[in-house]
Copies of this chain bind each other. A is one copy, B any other.
Amino acid sequence: MKPSPLITALQASGHRITRQRRVVLEVLEESQEHLDAESLYQKARQRAPRISLATVYRTVAVLKQMGLIAEYSLGEEHGHFETVPETPHYHFTCIGCGQVVEFDTPQVAVAIQELAEREGLEICTVQFSLTGYCACCRAGRGR
């Protein structure tokens, strides 16, 4: 078995390594998608049939709190999770096909930084996401 970075971090922080946690971590590390709790649950059950949805929620809560994964709001009513990326990025979700386009806009980071300094704010969370139609879906409609 290869020592996954997430497992190592969990262990180092004093958390126990259970089969269900291991499986959720594996799913998160393998799929470089933006999985929601339900998909995470479905994929996890394939490797740990008795895992519960509650445990999935509890696991992502721990990982999030440790800064190992990030939760995004992608225009749907539920959250999506992703291992924390080397380079921070934001998301555009196509309303037509569901595709998620990741992008980076350094200007946004700069704008936030300037605002924080000017107003004396300490920024804790940044929520930035777009929805609309991708090039393909626009073609399939007028324009």
Contact = CB atoms under 8 A, between A and B. Distances in A.
Contacts of A116: 132
Contact of A127 (B119, B122, B128): B128
Count copies of this chain in the complex: 2
A18 interface: no
Q: Please classify how large the interface on chain A is, using the bins under 10, 10 to 19, 20 to 34, 35 or more.
A: 20 to 34
Given A122-B133, A125-B132, A107 B111 contact: yes
Interface of A: 73, 75, 92, 95, 101, 103, 105, 107-108, 110-112, 115-116, 119-135, 138, 143
27 contacts: A73-B73, A73-B127, A75-B125, A75-B127, A92-B115, A92-B119, A92-B123, A101-B121, A103-B115, A105-B108, A105-B115, A107-B110, A107-B111, A116-B132, A120-B134, A120-B135, A120-B138, A121-B132, A121-B134, A121-B135, A122-B132, A123-B132, A124-B132, A124-B133, A125-B130, A126-B130, A127-B130
